[in-house]
């Protein structure tokens, strides 16, 4: 496995864990509101 594939695999594991163990928009969580950069990208 090359370095980029390894990084992508580890990032997927991290995101899978977060979305399985944290509630979206839960007060006090880093998922409590959408990320501004993502919103800016999506709106333009």
pLDDT at position 44: 66
pLDDT at position 8: 95
The residue with greater pLDDT, 23 or 2, is 2
Tens digit of each residue's pLDDT (9 = 90 or more) over 5-43:
999 999 999 989 988 888 877 887 777 777 788 788 887
Tokens of 24: 């979206």
Positive or negative torsion for Cα 44, 33, 37, 10: negative
Give the span between the Cα atoms of 1 and 18, in whole angstroms.
24
Q: Report pTM.
A: 0.55
Between vectors from CA 19 to CA 9 and to CA 35, what angle results, nearest 5°?
95
Longest CA span, the chain = 39
């Amino acid at each position: 496995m090359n370095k980029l594939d390894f990084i992508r695999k580890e990032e997927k594991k991290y995101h899978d864990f977060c979305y399985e163990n944290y509630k979206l928009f839960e007060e006090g969580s880093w998922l409590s509101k959408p990320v501004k950069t993502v919103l800016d990208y999506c709106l333009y």
